[in-house]
Amino acid sequence: MMHAPMASADHAPAPPVSFETSPARYRHLRLEIDGPIARLVIAIRENEGLRPGYALKLNSYDLGVDIELADAVQRLRFEHPEVTCVVITSGQEGMFSAGANIFMLGTSSHAFKVNFCKFTNETRLYIEDATENSGQTYIAALNGTASGGGYELPLACKEMYLVDDRRSAVSLPEVPFLGVLPGTGGLTRVVDKRKVRRDLADIFVTLAEGIKGKRAVEWNLVDGIFPTSRFAESVAARAKEIAGAGRPSRKGVVLDALDPVVTAKSITYRHVTVTFGPQLRVAHVELRLPQDMPEIPREASELGASWWPLRAFRELDDAILRLRVNHLDAGILLFSTRGRIADVLKLDEQLEKHAGDWFVNEVRHLMKRVLKRVDVTSKSLFTIVDEGSCFAGSLFELSLASDRTYMLSDGPKIALSVMNGGALPMGNGLTRLQSRFLAKPEHALEMASRRGELTAAEAEELGLVTASVDSVDWDDEVRLALEERASFSPDALTGMEASLRFAGPETIETKIFGRLSAWQNWIFQRPNAVGERGALSLYGKPESPEFDWNRT
């Protein structure tokens, strides 16, 4: 359906993307820590884009930049727990950021654009999560124009301040310039988070040059403006006010590299292995619990980055990201676990008992974020509970996140723990048990406090697994289910799963991944944006786009 150049972009074997980085390797960001205040300086190197073919001018970004941003946000929580205020600003005079690079978008495949937007959305949500749950308040110091994604990043901060220099503006010019939407939650955050009046929002998002000065404050597009001469000191004063004394007693935990072994057939981490096949389009994701896990000491952070829940969930996170971007054809993730249920339950107990400890709190929130990443992954998610598995408590959330769970009837058990009761909510604000039992909230509550191991028959009876299958039928039934799933249209599955996974209430987060992303994906397919004469394709070229004027 796509024109030839696009079609080839869709199928060109792009080099695999790694999501691992560290401050020493950053090319585009500078992370400066000064007591309780961190400064994240965006200083993007034009010629060091992730892929060839575009220059990252005007502090515009690509996935490579966003991988650094995601890394910085994560490391600030674990490695710099003393920090209580993070100031995001620009290293370029007069330009905060021009947003996602248009030439990168214009030359990317549809799937890459969609995955890029999803990842940037997750990172923006993590900034909000850090502000809310780690006491690291993000403020944006817009020392120049913030345009498109360059404004969506400050929208994710708790506060933003704009320099009042008669030039610098905030803008979302995607509709007038590119014929697409602000793709990183912009429209939703403007009317739902900042609650800008809808007709003013309508003007704002159709005004290519954006809005500056007092009007930006009046419309609640920014929280304040300062003249150039007082900008740096005013922002610094506000940061100091927010930061307070910081938390100097906390000792950070350095996140070591995951460095998986990647082959054509597998991705192997310390506790997680992804194996492709043997079934067509299936990636088998196995999590393994070690034989021994230490108790949480008085100073929990002494456990370090090797502590199982931290390391294993970071590995799972990295695996999910690689599967999304580098393995488009692996349409089904098959989750399994290996270990002892008793060990998971003991771990969960400890995670709950020490929830007040900053490091344990961070690990719990990391687990929550990784599970949310699973929830919004556009792949079918199946869990198999077989012999030797340990789907209990926090690990059972993987099964609850799955579209289906098959459990071997003779042998394995599952169990629930305190961690199923609210520590790991979905994006819609419900626990996965509440989402599952929307028709029976009292049953969800009862399950959340249910203790003890459950057989397959019990689990099926309680509605906790989809099907209990005996060993005679097991191989065939699982194989047939996977084969059937692998035969369906991948697009229909994406829309279907997005609809079935998020019943019940909606939040800004689910609106971004559900409604806004779905509209953007539609627009990203339309000739008016990505056709040969579409606005996105022709951006920066002398020709004007040609639109099909029919409204749909």
Q: In angstroms, what is the minimal distance from the CB of 282 to its own copies?
A: 12
Q: Exposure pattern of 406-426 as b/e (b: 16+ CB <10 Å)?
A: bbbbeebbbbbbbbbbebbbb
E strand or H helix at 352, and its extent? Answer: helix 341-353
Q: In angstroms, what is the minimal distance from the CB of 488 to its own copies?
A: 6
Three-state DSSP class for residue 71:
helix
Query: What are residue 58's DSSP bridge partners?
Result: none
Instruction: Round to whole Å and give the CA distance between 162 and 171.
Output: 12
CB-wise, 252 or 545, nearer to its own copies? 545
CB-wise, 310 or 398, nearer to its own copies? 398
**Sign (positive/negative) of CA torsion 378, 456, 337, 71?**
positive
Q: In angstroms, what is the minimal distance from the CB of 170 to its own copies?
A: 17
E strand or H helix at 467, and its extent? Answer: strand 467-469
Under 8 Å between Cβ of 26 and 32: no
CB-wise, 73 or 426, nearer to its own copies? 426
Report DSSP state, residue 187: H
Instruction: Round to whole Å and give the CA distance between 518 and 512.
Output: 9
Crossing angle of helices 308-326 and 110-133, rounded to 10°: 150
Pairing of strands 332-338, 282-288: parallel
What contacts 232, CB < 8 A, 6 or more positions away?
143
What is the side-by-side order of every strand in the sheet holding 144-147?
94-97, 144-147, 170-171
φ, ψ at 389 (rounded to 5°): -80, 165
Residue type, 292: D
* 89 CB neighbour count, 10 Å cutoff: 22
Instruction: Round to whole Å and give the CA distance between 516 and 180.
Output: 11
